[in-house]
Every structure is written in structure tokens, then in C-alpha cells.
A and B are shown apart, each in its own frame.
Chain A
Amino acid sequence: MREELIVSGRMNPHIDPQLQIWEWHIPAYLFLGGLAAGILFFASYFYIKGKSEEYPTAVKLAPIFTPLLIGLGLLFLLLDLKHKLYFWRLYTAFKIESPMSWGAWTLMAIMPLSAIWAAFNIKSLFPKWDWKFDIVKDAIKVLEEYKTPIAWAIMILSVILGIYTGILLSAFNARPLWNTSILGPLFLVSGMSTGAAAIIILSKSKVERHTFAKIDLLLIAIELFLIIHMFMGFRASSQVQIDASAMFLGGQFTAPFWVLVVGMGLVIPAALEILEMRHKKIPYMVAPVLVLFGGLLFRFIMAYAGQMSRWLY
């Protein structure tokens, strides 16, 4: 028997008895960032492919919400900071080894671009929209000449944003549950899946909903594959990662993760989407709402469980 105790009574807030430095802000922000990244990716991709008329929700309508989603995410991020007045220090340094640093810079770049994209398409949501000032109209007209390069920039940055939400966590060697390079792709695919789900919810065209249901189905399949892969990797890794995965394979997160995230958030929506494609009568809203819910819960569970996983010495 071996027992390790801190006998000098260390009780540092948010550190002891177990790390809880990040509460709801970070998972909520990761969800919003992934969602925005997914929507922006589809918007720019289908614009570049010349499918703006075929998929108007994806290219025009849905991205109007992305500056708000990113803005809300940034607000959560700011609320999470404990030394708030110094937040601008993020933008006086660029540290290539710190995912948080280049994430901050990516957000700085993609947020104005998403706002410009929204400005291009605002009339599709509010047909009577008027910019009031000529200078704004002129600026948008000038920018519209560069719509394709802007779309390319958004597409690349959205992939970086999506993958960063996972790499942010996977860079922490100290938390074995997060310390897997699969987390980056997993969060990217999950974010794109929530983006596709949001487009399905907003879309009024059956053709568009059908296409995005197919895309979502593919993304869900990749996600399931990555999740299984992640746990295979944990099981075959060092003791700390075996312990970390045990929280999901018999431990306290088993039921919420496998029933709510994997079952309700991935398998059931995938099944519904398949049935819908076979022309069974199913309300089209159910599957995408479940996907969004699953994506949100997935990030909460990963954020909380990751902080509980640790090295033992």
C-alpha cells in the first residue's frame, strides 16, 4: 500500500484538491469557436466552388451569425481571464509554441473577415437593410472586388480556428486526457459537424438540407472513428493515459459521455439522417439540434475530465 498526502495543508484555490482553473467559459468558447469555424468553412468553400445560389444558407445566411458567435466566445474568454485589464498583452507578443497565442491572433484575423463576409450578405437576412453612410457602402463595394481572396483567407483561417480549439487542450502534457494529438482533428471535425447542423437548422431549401445532412453524416462517421482511435491510443499508452481513459471506460464520465455525447449527439442523429435520406418522415430539426447539443456537451466533458486527469508521483 502506498499513500501520498500533502501534509502541510496546501489548499490553493482552483488547484486543490483537484485542478479547476477553467470553468464553463472555456468549453463554451471552444464550442462557439468550433461552430463559427464550421459555418465559415462551408460558406467560403461553397462560395469558391461557385455554389452560392445552390446553397444560399451556407454561403450567405449562416455566416451572418458568425461575428456574433466569435464575439460571444471572446467575451467568455475575457470573463475567464483573472487579470482582465492586461488582456491586450496577448497582442503585444506572438509565441509560436503557445497554441493560445496563435489562437488569439487567428481570432483577431478571422473576426473582422467574418464581419466583412456578413456585411456582404446582410441583405439576405434583412432585405431592407440600409448602411446609412456612403462610406460604408463604398468600403463594402471595394472589398467585394476581393471576395474570392477573402473567401480563401476565411477558409484557411477557419480550419486553423477549428483545429486550434483542440490543440489548445492537447498541448498540455500535464493533463494526460488532453495530451493526444487526435484532439485537434477531433475538435475540428466536431466543430464542422456543428456548423453543418446549424446550416441545416437555418436552411429553407430541401436540396441544401439534404446535402448538409450528407456532409454531417460523413463528419459524424469520422468523429466516431477518431473517438474510438483516441481511446485505443490511451489504452495502449502509459499508465497516466490508461488512468485518464478509465474515467470514460467504467469511471464517472462513462454514462454522460457514451450515452449523451456518443449516443444522443452522434449515433442517433446519424441514424435519423440516414432514415431521412430514405424518405422516412422525420422532423428535420431533431438531428441537427442533437448534434449541436452533443458538441457542446462533448467540450464540457473534455474540459472538466481533462482537468481531473493528472500525473501521479
Chain B
Amino acid sequence: MRYAMAVDTKKCVGCSDCVVACQTENNVPIGYCRDWIVEVTDGTYPQLELEHRSERCNHCENSPCVRCCPTGASHYSDGGTVMVTKNKCIGCGACIASCPYDARYTHPEGYVDKCTFCLHRVKKGQQPACVAVCPTKCMYFGDLDDPNSDVSRVIKKRKYKTLIPEAGTNPQLYFLI
């Protein structure tokens, strides 16, 4: 099993619904967020190109955060997701410094927190909160090992990119272009 997510940059309008859905679903403390929207503007008026990306933890296959964690709090869980065990985390910040996507933060209670791909929902057969709430249905989530999953099918059909693959992290967040 290999959970992954694909975000269609052609469909995303940057409404930030996914951000709010995540904050609500996961009780993210006020002033923090586990996902965010990046808007890229290319060129000069009137030759402009716009790209919207809903970004979050890439649940990398070769995660620097898991490698750098001195206690094993950051670890691989079901479907290759990268998770943090609260009561093993000492809050040293090594994983935060090691993440090229800056996807992690320190929870006000002291431990490190991040996107979980809403594994608690996925285990119940639901979609992650951000995917479920998206008004343009620009996000696809599923198991890459299953050729019939939403994410496998859309990745087969469309061109995509990942973010800084040259960092060697093998990210599992795909952006359809």
C-alpha cells in the first residue's frame, strides 16, 4: 500500500477551503496550518500564467525528517505515511530543520505536528478532509499500488510534477500540470 495525493493545478482556484477544512478536522491550533496554498505568477502582464497549488506534507518515501529524528517519534506508518508519535517527540526541531518543504511546525504543547493524510478518516473509508471539501474536486487521494484508485488513474492519464525531487526525498504529493 502506498498512499499518495494528486492536486490538479488547472482546477485549483486557491480558495483555501482545504486549509480551513484541515484546521477544523484536525483541531489545528489557531495561527497554525498543516496545508497551504501557493500561488505562482509567471511572466509580465499581459502574458501571465498562474498556477495554484494546495501544498502539505509530501509523505516522502525517503523522508529526511524520519532519518534525522533522534527518538523514532517521526516514523513511517500505514501506506508509507509519515507520522509523529506525540509522546516520543522531544521537540528538538531536527525534523523541522530537515524538511525542505517546511511542512512541520511545533504544536503549542511542544511536540511536532504535521499533515497525517487524515489517516483516521482514511481508515474509516473516508477521504482526507482537504480532498473531501474541495469545491472544484481538484484533489485525488488513494493507494498508488492499486491501479484502479483515483490517484493512480489520474497520474496515469495526466502530466505531473513533484516538488523539488532533486532534494532526493521522493515526495508522494503529485501536482497535475
* Chain B residues with CB under 8 A of A89: 71, 73, 87-90
**Cα–Cα, bound, A229→B93 (Å):** 29
* Chain A residues with CB under 8 A of B166: 238
| Nearest CB of chain B from residue A283's CB, rounded to whole Å | 41
* Chain A residues with CB under 8 A of B72: 93, 95
Q: Chain B residue with minimal CB distance to A178?
A: B97
**Cα–Cα, bound, A99→B73 (Å):** 15
B98 in contact with A171 (CB, 8 Å): yes
Instruction: Tell me the interface secondary structure of chain A in the complex.
Output: loop
Partner of A3, one of B35, B40, B104: B40
A313 in contact with B164 (CB, 8 Å): yes
Q: Does B7 lie at the interface of the complex (its beta carbon under 8 Å from any beta carbon of A)?
A: no
Partner of A11, one of B31, B88, B164: B31
B44 in contact with A1 (CB, 8 Å): yes
Known: A83-B111, A100-B68. A22 touches B106 (CB 8 A): no
Q: Does A174 lie at the interface of the complex (its beta carbon under 8 Å from any beta carbon of B)?
A: yes
Q: Does B168 lie at the interface of the complex (its beta carbon under 8 Å from any beta carbon of A)?
A: yes
* Chain A residues with CB under 8 A of B67: 97-98, 171
* Chain B residues with CB under 8 A of A7: 14, 16, 37-39
Known: A2-B40, A83-B91. A95 touches B69 (CB 8 A): yes
| Nearest CB of chain A from residue B82's CB, rounded to whole Å | 14
What total of chain B residues lie within 8 Å of the partner, measured CB to CB? Answer: 50
Q: Does B128 lie at the interface of the complex (its beta carbon under 8 Å from any beta carbon of A)?
A: no
* Chain B residues with CB under 8 A of A99: 68
Q: Looking at chain A, what size class is its interface with the partner chain?
A: 35 or more
Q: Chain B residue with minimal CB distance to A86?
A: B90
A172 in contact with B68 (CB, 8 Å): yes
Q: Chain B residue with minimal CB distance to A175?
A: B97
Q: Does B154 lie at the interface of the complex (its beta carbon under 8 Å from any beta carbon of A)?
A: no
Q: Chain A residue with minimal CB distance to B18?
A: A8
For residues 62 through 95 of chain B, which have their beta carbon under 8 Å from a beta carbon of chain A? 64, 67-73, 87-94
Known: A83-B110, A86-B90, A174-B98. A14 touches B105 (CB 8 A): yes
